[in-house]
Amino acid sequence: MTEINSVTTLTREGDVAIITLNSPPVNALSFNVRDGLYEGFKQAIADDSKAIVLICDGRTFIAGADITEFGGASKGASLFDVQNMMESSPKPVVAAIHGTALGGGLEVALCAHYRVAVPSARLGLPEVALGLLPGAGGTQRLPRVVGVENALEMVTSGRHVPAPEAAKLGLVDEMVEEGKLKEGAIAFANKCVAENKPLTKISENNAKLEAAKGHPEIFAEFRKKNARKFRGFDAPEANIKCIEAVVNSATFDEGLKAERTLFMGLMAGSQSAAQRYYFFAERQAQKIPDVPDDTPVREIRKVGVLGAGTMGGGISMNFVNIGIPVTIVELKQEALDRGLKTIRANYERSRGAKPEETEKRMSLLSGGTDLSALADCDLIIEAVFERMDIKKDVFANLDKIAKPGAILASNTSYLNVDEIASVTSRPQDVIGLHFFSPANVMKLLEVIRGEKTAKDVIATSMKLAKKIGKVAVLSGVCPGFIGNRMLSQRQREAQKLVLEGAMPWDVDRVLYDFGFPMGPFAMSDLAGLDIGWVKENSKGETIRDVLCEMDRRGQKTGAGYYDYDENRVAKPSPVTEKIINDFIVKSGRNPRKISDEEILERCVFPMINEGVKILEEGMAIRASDVDTVWINGYGWPVYRGGPMFYGDLVGGPKKVLEKMKEFQGKMGDDFKPAALLEKLAADGGKFGDLKG
Ligand code: 3HC
Ligand code: NAI
């Protein structure tokens, strides 16, 4: 065995030279890895072997470029040096793939003459998720293997394609048995030698491009079809342009040049910086300083849910989906039946739903109206009405029936989890699990740590969240926790803006153009204006009261802030406009013209200020956790990195403080800057560095 460097070895099996990479955790292409590959291939090409296999140790093949090195000075062999060496090798090079071959990893594999993989492997070019494009020839080689249309789909979705599908697409030349990758790859390499298989250079193979030549409509249609999905993002368009370049360039090198230019453009932009930041933010959120990764977890084999309403149903689906049985307890049989019916309908409606799958999932659901049905549950999640007296009652009763060690969770949106825990004899087992609506779809789970919550309860919740496909973020106990607490700042300003002269559709347009899926008023119309509205108590004191009193209760009644046509397309409403103008006149104010800039700053800067307060009070662990909440729970555009990242992007604490003070001077203490914001601005600090 020759040790090439600290992460690469060169060994020999008969005629086959084997280059093995071992750079945990994911064999990313750090400079050390590139150097090892370059030197390894150089030596393997020079020795008397007849073929070369590239294989990786650990959990995966190469998962991409090393994202932590982006933006730093480049050193060592470049990825292009490695690729050229592989592609021009005079003996067959075989890439042996397990785990994932992603981004730069797949781009390396595409420079081997052949690829073999185990069935569980996945291959893809996910750079788009980092606001990038495959910048090492990936966009130029992939279409030459899978065709232009498949390539367009792969690079703009970033999808990790399962190996069997990749084999059908031509990306994998031979599947080898799970667990026998090395033997399979060596056998394949020997076969290449024995059969004198050609040294296929993908870069020279243009056959798959022919079908798309002279057909620009392929790209036009693809853009049109995906316009909604790509809205606001720079990277998908740059990826599409690269694939266009494959078709329109006279040579491979010309296309490569176009790819390089577009790659550098994205790399220098703020969107990719935001998306790369978010990649690490999401992973960082799983780390809780005083709850180490090896904290023992409680086993969750059965889940109980209280309440089969909007949230209880969706929450239950998450567990059933991963095979954990769920028992739902409701007040009345009718409510339970309604909830179960909604769950079934959700399954039946989901894309590609097979009837037997739906039945299998439904069979894991049971229900009743007697709390004791939850006695054998390892985790019980309460999703009943948002009232402290009811929650306390429920938890006191749960305390009586739940088995020892069961985790008792509340899905409360605003209420004090410590107060809820205080009615039990086991506050250490009580935690907040704040799902977002629709709970079977939304990625965010705020995990609310009570004063007495045990560490293993936190560790169990965080790990379980990952299992059900959620991104969990830990929050302390405060009204509205991280997300809703910041949201209330935005909601307040949105309402105020409308009473000063902006129309709901002005506010919505600004926030939509910023990148949110919809503005607050369109959102209210969708959810229903009458949530929390009580007819008997309504005295026309707010715009909402008046709208509800007129039965304009949102989309469901065909009108709310907006008017809706029969296809639920929203139009600004003259009725709403009149109501608003009457309100303004009644308040003795003059409506004024409000700029888009003011709308945005008034909606967003108080949120950033609140985020600082949340960190100041230690309610979030770090600034990036706040951003992770907003990206996954509230549709904050990932290409703007979250409120705290955005605060740094638009001028940092100094700028935000300046604006908050300006607004405070004009409009009062809704804009009072957090003490920590003042300090941060004075010290020249960054929001991104804040720790709770
Ligand atoms: N660079 C640096 N670190 C990386 C990395 C990368 N490309 N990919 C993963 N890591 C790190 C993670 O930050 C994490 O670190 P931590 O343990 O300190 O938090 C660790 O590796 C394990 O990652 P995950 O927790 O995500 O592990 P999973 O097993 O859940 O997932 C994975 C593994 C599917 C490989 C996932 O990590 C992933 O999707 N990685 C990114 C893949 C990617 O985007 N590749 C393209 C990179 S850009 C590129 O190649 C540009 C080129 O075209 C020039
Ligand atoms: P919902 O009104 O749709 O459902 C509540 C259900 O609980 C009803 O079906 C009711 O019959 C049942 N219920 C009431 N008391 C009960 C009891 N003692 N035992 C068993 N069942 C009982 O309410 P929704 O929207 O599902 O909210 C539930 C909780 O989730 C609230 O705390 C809410 O704040 C929170 N939440 C709601 C979100 C939303 O968007 N709707 C988002 C995140 C959290």
* pLDDT digits 0-9 by tens, 32-60: 999 999 999 999 999 999 999 999 999 99
Q: Do the domains spanning 2-267 and 596-689 agree at the CATH topology level?
A: no
Nearest CA to ligand 1 atom 53: 134
Yes or no: say if 591 and 496 are a contact pair by the CB < 8 Å rule: no
Closest ligand 1 atom to the C-alpha of 102?
A: 45
Q: How confident is the model at residue 76 (pLDDT cuts 50, 70, 90)?
A: confident
CA distance 351 to 68: 37
Of 31, 32, 59, 67, best ligand 1 pocket probe by most atoms within 8 Å of the beta carbon: 67
Helix pair angle (652-667, 675-683), 10° resolution:
140
Establish whether 127 is a catalytic residue: yes
Distance 476 CA to ligand 2 centre (A): 22
State how beta strands 326-329 and 365-368 pair: parallel
Say which DSSP state 416 is in. Answer: -
Task: Give the pTM.
Answer: 0.96
Fold of the domain built from segment(s) 303-479: Rossmann fold (3.40.50)
CA neighbor of 109 nearest in space, from 84, 83, 132: 83
The per-residue pLDDT for range 291-325, each reduced to its tens digit, is 999 999 999 999 999 999 999 999 999 999 999 99
| Res 146: pLDDT | 98
Please give all residues whose beta carbon lies within 6 A of any atom in ligand 2, as ranges: 306-312, 329-331, 335, 383-386, 390, 394, 411-413, 435-437
| Res 317: pLDDT | 98
Residue 76 or residue 559, greater confidence: 559
Q: Which residue is it, tokens 């889940």? A: 303
The per-residue pLDDT for range 320-342, each reduced to its tens digit, is 999 999 999 999 999 999 999 99
Number of H helices, E strands in the chain: 27, 20
Alpha helices in 58-175 (DSSP H): 79-87, 104-109, 138-146, 148-157, 163-169
CATH entry 1.10.1040.10 includes domain 501-508+518-586: yes
| Res 638: pLDDT | 98
Say which DSSP state 556 is in. Answer: G
The one catalytic residue in 87, 127, 282, 601 is: 127
Partners of residue 21 on adjacent β-strands: 8, 56
Verify whether ligand 1 is closer than 6 Å to residue 255 (CB atom).
Answer: no
Statement: residue 351 has pLDDT above 80:
no
Yes or no: say if 125 and 84 are a contact pair by the CB < 8 Å rule: no
The per-residue pLDDT for range 364-410, each reduced to its tens digit, is 999 999 999 999 999 999 999 999 999 999 999 999 999 999 999 99
Residue 339, H or E segment: helix 333-349
Nearest CA to ligand 2 atom 4: 309
Structure tokens at 10: 């060169």
| Res 183: pLDDT | 98
Establish whether 178 is a catalytic residue: no
Write the burial class of residue 48 (CB in 10 Å: 0-12 exposed, 13-18 middle, 19+ buried).
Answer: exposed
CA distance 491 to 486: 9
Distance in Å from the first CA to the final CA of the chain: 49
Q: What is the mean pLDDT of the chain?
A: 97
In angstroms, how far is CA 650 from the centroid of its own chain? 23
| Res 587: pLDDT | 86
DSSP string, 387-442: -HHHHHHHHHHHHHHSPTT-EEEE--SSS-HHHHHTTSS-GGGEEEEEE-SSTTT-
Phi-psi region at 55: left, alpha or beta (left = phi > 0; alpha = psi -120 to 50) = beta
Nearest CA to ligand 2 atom 15: 384
CA neighbor of 62 nearest in space, from 107, 2, 5: 107
Closest ligand 1 atom to the C-alpha of 136?
A: 54
Residue 614, H or E segment: helix 596-616
The per-residue pLDDT for range 658-676, each reduced to its tens digit, is 999 999 999 999 999 999 9
Apex 192 CA angle, 190 and 193, nearest 5: 65
- For the chain, the structural domain boundaries read 2-267, 303-479, 501-508+518-586, 596-689
Task: Give the ligand at the shortest distance from the Cα of 128.
Answer: 1
Verify whether ligand 1 is closer than 6 Å to residue 240 (CB atom).
Answer: no
CA distance 499 to 78: 58
Q: How confident is the model at residue 74 (pLDDT cuts 50, 70, 90)?
A: confident
CA distance 30 to 534: 60
Distance 643 CA to ligand 1 centre (A): 24
Partners of residue 622 on adjacent β-strands: 691
CA distance 692 to 678: 16
Count other C-beta atoms under 10 Å from residue 15's C-beta. 15
Nearest CA to ligand 2 atom 43: 436
Q: How confident is the model at residue 258 (pLDDT cuts 50, 70, 90)?
A: very high
Structure tokens at 468: 């059900």
Of 7, 26, 264, 622, best ligand 1 pocket probe by most atoms within 8 Å of the beta carbon: 26
Q: Which residue is it, tokens 């045990």? A: 454
CATH entry 3.90.226.10 includes domain 2-267: yes
State how beta strands 430-435 and 444-448 pair: antiparallel
Q: Which residue is it, tokens 């403080």? A: 657
Yes or no: say if 246 and 263 are a contact pair by the CB < 8 Å rule: no
Yes or no: say if 555 and 526 are a contact pair by the CB < 8 Å rule: yes
Supply φ then ψ for residue 71, to 5 degrees: 90, -15
Q: Of the CATH numbers 1.10.1040.50, 3.30.590.10, 3.40.50.2000, 3.60.15.10, which one belongs to the domain with range 596-689?
A: 1.10.1040.50
Distance 312 CA to ligand 2 centre (A): 7
Distance 519 CA to ligand 2 centre (A): 25
